[in-house]
């Protein structure tokens, strides 16, 4: 079994494997513009974030009923458990569904039905984080938060995702202020394709507690120093960065430099069905490419639990951290 870990950057819609997409398409009478799963996989050659997002949002057409979302989450949790995941903080994109006429309640109820059984079935504790699409308006984000109010007992926090460049964090100041008033935790994608200044803005204007990706902070030494000093976790997604051409090759991932700079980094999968691997595969990929030793892999696993939103269950965090310390590496993790 791989090292125990938390996954903190995972879009549930990005776990839709081609086989499940075709099964749901058949069940729901949706025609996909691909002949079969092989043809769909062939289309997974992305040139940047936008080229991925176009396919990602398109394929969501197959997700229609609460049961579809339950099946999607069950399939993810089963795979995650096999890769050592003990705790998962799962993003979903309500606007990508409400725009197609699927009520937010259908999405949350469907996901919750799976998450309610996750501990018993897969040994995984879970949290849900709803993301606003930053290429939609601030008004749409506010309306989405309003629509989510009946479901906030199921939702731990808010995030910000989709096309980054040209959509700076400050656009969402108001909705993040409201989220904070409602007691929601706050994270945001920043510094994936966008500049280091978006990372600063996410901290200063949105008050985020974790930064998703944050890779481009490395272009701003004073920002790196601040992130290290304030112990702001970064949720890195190495295979995603390669597939979306944020970096050229996995060997060039700056993970080692980030650790050396004192950053609290974690390794995650982002959209594993599209990017060639789940979180354990991301650990293996950076482990091999960057020659990380056991102690570094253990540190990454430890960081994942330190960065998790487990303040309401510190005993659980301690238990998970104990599992990391007790873990014996056998190679290949």
Q: How far is the CB of 189 from Zn ion (least distance, A)?
A: 6
The tokens for 266 are: 């974690």
> Residues 21, 34: contact at Cβ < 8 Å?
no
Which of 5, 11, 79, 171 forms a contact with ligand ADE (CB under 6 A)? 11
Nearer to Zn ion, 17 or 271 (CB): 271
Is the CA virtual torsion 119, 131, 164, 262 positive or negative? negative
161 binds ligand ADE (CB under 6 A): yes
Which of 83, 156, 240, 303 forms a contact with ligand ADE (CB under 6 A)? 240
What is the residue whose two structure tokens read 């989220």?
179
Q: How far is the CB of 120 from Zn ion (least distance, A)?
A: 28
93 binds Zn ion (CB under 5 A): no
Q: How far is the CB of 258 from Zn ion (least distance, A)?
A: 17
Stretch that binds Zn ion, among 48-56, 123-131, 226-234, 265-273 (CB under 5 A): 265-273
One DSSP character per residue, 217-251 reads: GGG-HHHHHHHHHTT-EEEE-HHHHHHTTSSS-GG
CA–CA separation, 41 vs 52, rounded Å?
A: 12
CA–CA separation, 123 vs 117, rounded Å?
A: 9
CA–CA separation, 333 vs 1, rounded Å?
A: 8
Q: How far is the CB of 209 from ligand ADE (least distance, A)?
A: 18
> Residues 126, 155: contact at Cβ < 8 Å?
no
Question: Residue 314 burial (CB < 10 Å; 0-12/13-18/19+)?
Answer: exposed
Which of 13, 17, 270, 281 forms a contact with Zn ion (CB under 5 A)? 270
Which of 189, 216, 243, 317 forms a contact with ligand ADE (CB under 6 A)? 189
E strands in 162-207: 185-190
**Of 13, 164, 192, 333, catalytic:** 192
Size of the chain, expressed as the number of residues it contains = 333
Q: Which one of ligand ADE, Zn ion, none is in contact with 49 (Cβ closer than 5 to 8 A by kind)?
A: ligand ADE
7 binds Zn ion (CB under 5 A): no
Is 19 a catalytic site residue?
no
Q: By the criterion CB under 6 A, which residues form the site for ligand ADE?
A: 11, 14, 49, 161-162, 189, 192, 240, 270-271
Q: By the criterion CB under 5 A, which residues form the site for Zn ion?
A: 270
What residues are annotated to the active site?
192
């Amino acid at each position: 079994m791989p090292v125990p870990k938390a996954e903190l950057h995972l879009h549930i819609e990005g776990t839709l494997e081609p086989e499940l997409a075709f099964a749901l398409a058949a069940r729901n009478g949706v025609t996909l513009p691909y002949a079969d799963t092989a043809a769909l996989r062939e289309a997974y050659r992305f040139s940047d974030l936008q080229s991925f997002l176009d396919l990602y949002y398109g394929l969501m057409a197959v997700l229609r009923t609460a049961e579809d979302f339950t099946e999607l989450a069950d399939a993810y949790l089963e795979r995650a458990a096999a890769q050592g995941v003990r705790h998962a903080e799962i993003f979903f994109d309500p606007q990508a569904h409400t725009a197609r006429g699927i009520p937010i309640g259908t999405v949350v109820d469907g996901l919750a039905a799976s998450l309610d059984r996750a501990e018993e079935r897969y040994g995984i504790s879970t949290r849900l984080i709803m993301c606003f699409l930053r290429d939609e308006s601030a008004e749409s984000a506010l309306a989405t938060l309003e629509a989510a109010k009946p479901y906030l007992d199921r939702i731990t926090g808010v995030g910000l995702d989709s096309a980054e460049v040209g959509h700076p964090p400050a656009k969402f100041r108001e909705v993040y202020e409201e989220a904070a008033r409602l007691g929601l935790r706050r994270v945001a994608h920043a510094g994936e394709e966008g500049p280091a200044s978006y990372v600063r803005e996410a901290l200063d204007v949105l008050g985020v507690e974790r930064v998703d990706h944050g890779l481009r902070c490395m272009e701003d030494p004073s920002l790196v120093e601040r992130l290290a000093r304030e112990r702001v976790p970064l949720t890195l997604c190495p295979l995603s960065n390669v597939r979306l051409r944020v970096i050229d090759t996995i060997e060039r991932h700056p993970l080692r430099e980030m650790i050396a700079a004192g950053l609290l980094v974690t390794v995650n999968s982002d959209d594993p069905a599209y990017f060639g691997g789940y979180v354990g595969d991301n650990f293996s990929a950076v482990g091999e490419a960057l020659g990380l030793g056991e102690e570094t892999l253990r540190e990454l696993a430890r960081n994942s639990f330190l960065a998790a939103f487990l303040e309401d269950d510190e005993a659980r965090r301690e238990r998970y951290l104990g599992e990391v310390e007790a873990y014996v590496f056998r190679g290949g993790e």
